Structure 1
């Protein structure tokens, strides 16, 4: 199983042939954000699901009280790049609305049930992030 920089490297080198299926039945994409302080580009592998024309990811950080850095970066600059398999596309990130979130959360937890456990570990409301193609 791939993690971190090795996951990113193998995903890019193989157009997702290695790394798209992170675990059986659990697909991963690569999200590129711009550092809110550094301006550097950061690539993060994340579990995802499609939702119509949008792509969903969850800013869980395993249920930590602080959000993941990639989420803090996209809050400062919501213009991101997404790679799914060999396809790369620009997207604009936003947090799911309170009306959208329950169905989107259920969709994400159906592929990674630990999201429900992560939410129980923290008082922070874990957001579902919607990536809309630009």
Structure 2
């Protein structure tokens, strides 16, 4: 039954209606639940692993908190983030923030972790994209819907 539930959510998340509504509803719910549980829980992590990214605003220089799905890597020290923006035309603001200020932090399973973000390109991006499509197939629908190349970042835990 769990597999059926996942497939249903994947199908629903690939719709244009979801792309219109989700960016306004999902992050607000996630931030509220994260705050109320003192960082131990994100609502969206019931389907996908997730982090709460704290980056520095590209123009404002102010801290920006964004709940995001992620693909944790096997090394336990890095995470892949996808700037899909639910298949909407523009890049999400958090991707510009990371391009301008790659030092950030994530809340991962209730722990704050300093990270450095790097935009993946070329063969490295291609390999990550293949893994991402196995991890969450709706990313293919999001990419097909837009003319831009969806940005993919690797966040790596800072040592020390």
Give TM-score scaled by structure 2 length. Answer: 0.74
Higher helix share: 2
Report 1:1-134 matches (<5 A). 3-14=26-37, 15-19=39-43, 21-23=45-47, 26-51=48-73, 52=75, 53-134=77-158
Residue 57 of structure 1 contacts residue 108 of structure 1 at CA under 8 Å; is this kept in 2? no
Q: Provide the aligned C-alpha RMSD in A.
A: 1.9
Deviation at 1:109, TM superposition (A): 2.3
**Larger RCO (CA within 8 A; separation ≥ 6):** 1
Report the structure number with the largest CA radius of gyration: 2
Deviation at 1:63, TM superposition (A): 2.2
The answer for unaligned runs of 5 or more in structure 1 is none
Quick one: distance in 2 between partners of 1:7 and 1:18? 5
Deviation at 1:27, TM superposition (A): 1.3
Q: Deviations over 1:64-105 (max 9, x none)?
A: 232000111111111111111111111111111311122211
Higher strand share: 1
The answer for unaligned runs of 5 or more in structure 2 is 1-24
Quick one: distance in 2 between partners of 1:107 and 1:13? 33
Give TM-score scaled by structure 1 length. Answer: 0.87
